[in-house]
């Protein structure tokens, strides 16, 4: 089957985006934490995130930076810096070739870790622990989809016995249209996620990940 060129693929994505919500609930109750997948509009909308109880955002996109600073620090001299109204994490993936496979493994461990992270009782850490999580990228169809699919397959293998099963589930929950699937997520990211699955399985066999997120 012929792959669409970049212009026609962009048109497919734009048409699908016009009728799709910026974020969708993907999976519930990882020790009380629900996981959402969304796009740049969702990640940059604090009111939307608050309505869904999202207290942490993991931005997977290298080419997307979002200024969520609510109270700029008094010593900001150039661009503002300071704390956001929620916990904000960044995983800088390219949407295509160029990522070392280790980055998907790192993203999986980062997602596991941020869901378990406990905030210290200090004014410099004003956020509560817990809350739900949004995993986003620019369009919410490739980088975020592959990371959450990897997470679901590794954390709930009885429900998602293969990475492909998890990807198909996330595609459906995110309301990705079949015409988008050849590039949502990108095949090279699927290959990297398959490498990460093998790496995690190896580490678990050798007891190196005993402290990783387990339900």
CATH number for the domain including 109? 3.90.190.10
Q: Are 140 and 42 spatial neighbours (Cβ–Cβ below 8 Å)?
A: yes
What is the DSSP secondary structure assignment for residue 90, as one 8-state letter? E
Report the half-sphere exposure of 107 (CA within 13 A, side-chain side): 36
pLDDT in tens, 40-50: 999 999 999 99
Residue 92 lies inside a defined structural domain of this protein: yes
pLDDT of residue 14: 82
Residue 210 lies inside a defined structural domain of this protein: no
Residue 96 lies inside a defined structural domain of this protein: yes
What is the DSSP secondary structure assignment for residue 101, as one 8-state letter? T
Tally Cβ neighbours within 10 Å of residue 160. 22
Residue 210 has pLDDT above 70, yes or no: no
Residue 63 lies inside a defined structural domain of this protein: yes
Domain that holds residue 65: 6-73+80-205
pLDDT of residue 1: 43
Beta bridge partners of 56: 87, 133
Return the closest-CA partner of residue 69 out of 78, 57, 80: 80
Position with higher pLDDT, 144 vs 207: 144
Q: How much is the pTM?
A: 0.90
Residue 190 lies inside a defined structural domain of this protein: yes
Residue 214 lies inside a defined structural domain of this protein: no
Residue 182 lies inside a defined structural domain of this protein: yes
Q: What percent of the chain has pLDDT over 90?
A: 74
Q: For all residues of the chain together, what is the average pLDDT?
A: 91
Residue 136 lies inside a defined structural domain of this protein: yes
Position with higher pLDDT, 7 vs 168: 168
Residue 31 has pLDDT above 70, yes or no: yes
Residue 215 has pLDDT above 70, yes or no: no
Pairing mode, strands 23-30 and 33-38: antiparallel
Please give the tally of structural domains in the chain: 1
């Amino acid at each position: 089957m012929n792959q669409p060129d970049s212009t026609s693929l962009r048109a497919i994505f734009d048409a699908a985006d016009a009728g799709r919500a910026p974020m969708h609930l993907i999976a519930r109750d990882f020790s009380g934490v629900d996981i959402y997948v969304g796009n740049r509009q969702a990640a940059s909308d604090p009111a939307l995130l608050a309505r869904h109880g999202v207290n942490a955002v993991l931005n997977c996109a290298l080419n997307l930076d979002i200024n969520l600073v609510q109270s700029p620090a008094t010593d900001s001299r150039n661009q503002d810096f300071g704390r956001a109204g929620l916990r904000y994490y960044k995983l800088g993936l390219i949407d295509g070739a160029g990522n070392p496979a280790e980055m998907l493994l790192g993203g999986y461990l980062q997602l596991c870790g941020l869901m378990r992270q406990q905030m210290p009782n200090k004014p410099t850490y004003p956020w509560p622990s817990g809350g739900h999580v949004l995993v986003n990228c620019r369009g919410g169809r490739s980088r975020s989809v592959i990371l959450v699919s990897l997470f679901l397959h590794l954390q709930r293998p009885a429900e998602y016995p293969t990475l492909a099963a998890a990807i198909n589930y996330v595609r459906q929950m995110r309301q990705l249209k079949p015409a988008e699937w050849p590039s949502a997520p990108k095949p090279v990211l699927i290959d990297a996620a398959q490498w990460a699955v093998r790496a995690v399985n190896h580490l678990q066999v050798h007891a190196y990940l005993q402290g990783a997120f387990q339900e």
